[in-house]
Homo-oligomer: A and B are copies of this chain.
Amino acid sequence: MAQTSTVHAPQLQGLIDAVGAQNVVTNPATIDNYRWDRANDPSAGTPVAVVRATSSEDVQATIRFAAAHGMPVVTRGAGSGLSGGSSAVDGGIVVSMENMRDISIDPQTRTAVVQSGAFNAEVKAAAAEHGLWYPPDPSSFEFCSIGGNVATNAGGLCCVKYGVTADYVLGMKVVLADGREVNLGGSRLKDVAGLNLTQLFVGSEGTLGVITEVTLRLVPAQRPPTTLVATFATLDDSTKAVLAIASSMRPSMLEFMDNATINAVEDATGMELDRDAAAMLIIQSDEPAEYAAREIEMMEASCHQHGATDVFHASDVEEAEAIIVARRMAIPAVEQKGTILLEDVGVPLPRLGDLVRGVQQISQDRDVTIAVIAHAGDGNTHPLLVFDPMDDEQKQRAHLAYGDVMELAVRLGGTITGEHGVGRLKRPWLVDSIGEDALELNNRIKSALDPHNILNPGAVYDPAGLTADE
């Protein structure tokens, strides 16, 4: 087990010697900026140092130092995580990847080799210079790192057709708990030599190693999508339309906003959304022109068939973009109403209606405002639980509702997290989501790869479930 560190400031000299004083932050005011990610985990600790790594060697030296002193190491990309996967730990070291952002594109193999601190948007831009596309598009793509995307197996809006981050990771360099760096996979499209360790590290949330570089698969540029917006008078109508469309067509986007979200976005933008609608769907097709027109026509018919009150086509690229921006700003818009607890539960698509209805019931039962946005096409919803941070009683009700929503998703055959990760916030619910036997397999692999539990201790795994090696 990781122990609370007994390293005092003077002993950090070994670390400073190894990675250079300019890369080690010990100033408490600056360190404070590295304690939380966007989950604002109330239990985040205070690290003794932040290493702003500039190379794999810096990361290796840091891990070796930490291993020698039994110190926890938390890896941090851009700090945009939503489950507390990069909350700092008392007495530990935060390894920040913010200064490792090289990107190189190979158009012949259609791959990108990217240091993990590079932003998702930077990878997209570099690929676009070669007429290529890196599809994964978390809503935070402009300010989240590729390393964080890989560590959480981030999703986004285009997943419904183009899959998640994992589908684009061909290889990586990862620094292990003993400081060795290992190369996994590479720019080969097919490779079955040994276990698929690359995919094991995708989504491992910094608990098995520190990913320093990834090799990503790129695809030809997306065709300009056609955009459709439909509003519905009832939640049921909207989720039925989602199921009908997603199970018979191939939308490149199929997003959902409920009434509370529509109103929050309208408050923030004044773009004349229908404040009375129970739900709104944003649908895109990116098939070749003539085919897309036919597909959009079928999608429109499906919306009407399921009782849409209004259906309209974006008249041009600008209008379409404005609608997508509205969707992407749903979280900040709802945040203006209070402090939020952000959920990330998913269910098999036919249970989407049950999930949305159940969340509404929880909202009533707990007397907590819950706004729901969803990557509806793949059954992944983000209920946003809003509370007044000054009202302790309300805050407590919101936290109870947070658990209720996860338990509901599990009852419906779903997951407690579709794309944000377990981190520290959702750890108590992991066993219900995957079951005791699968959790025990997780623990065995964690213990095999990080026997002293120095990598992101407290995230994903309950230390009590791990086999100590010391």
Contact = CB atoms under 8 A, between A and B. Distances in A.
Interface in A144-203: 152-153, 155, 159-160, 163-164, 166-167, 176, 180, 182-184, 186-197, 199-200, 202-203
A13 interface: no
A419 interface: yes
A418 B446 CA distance: 28
Nearest to A249: B220
Contact of A350 (B108, B413, B416, B420): B108
A447 B467 CA distance: 14
A70 interface: no
Interface string A116-138: 00000000000000000000000
Contact of A194 (B194, B197, B434, B449): B434
Given A107-B247, A108-B350, A193 B417 contact: yes
B449 A441 contact: yes
A47 to B, nearest CB: 25
Which residue of A109, A208, A250, A417 has the most chain B CB atoms within 10 A of its CB atom?
A109
A442 B194 contact: yes
Which residue of A189, A200, A247, A449 has the most chain B CB atoms within 10 A of its CB atom?
A189
A444 interface: yes
A264 interface: no
A415 interface: yes
Given A192-B153, A194-B422, A419-B192, A438 B184 contact: yes
Contact of A109 (B107, B159, B163, B350): B350
- State how many copies of this chain the complex holds: 2
Contacts of A460: 194
Contacts of A435: 182-183
A195 B204 contact: yes
A107 B422 CA distance: 30
A77 interface: no
A445 B448 contact: yes
Interface in A429-470: 430, 433-435, 437-439, 441-442, 444-449, 460
A290 interface: yes
Interface in A38-79: none
Interface residues of A, number: 83
Contacts of A203: 192, 195-196
Interface stretch (A28-36, A319-327, A341-349, A395-403): A341-349
Which residue of A194, A249, A378 has the most chain B CB atoms within 10 A of its CB atom?
A194
Nearest to A223: B291
27 contacts: A108-B247, A109-B348, A166-B199, A167-B167, A183-B435, A183-B438, A184-B434, A187-B348, A188-B348, A188-B414, A188-B415, A188-B418, A189-B380, A190-B379, A190-B415, A190-B418, A191-B346, A191-B415, A192-B420, A194-B430, A195-B442, A196-B199, A197-B442, A220-B250, A288-B288, A288-B291, A445-B448
Given A187-B413, A189-B380, 19 more contacts: A108-B247, A108-B350, A152-B192, A166-B196, A180-B437, A183-B438, A188-B346, A188-B379, A188-B414, A190-B375, A190-B380, A193-B416, A194-B422, A195-B203, A195-B204, A195-B441, A195-B446, A291-B291, A445-B445
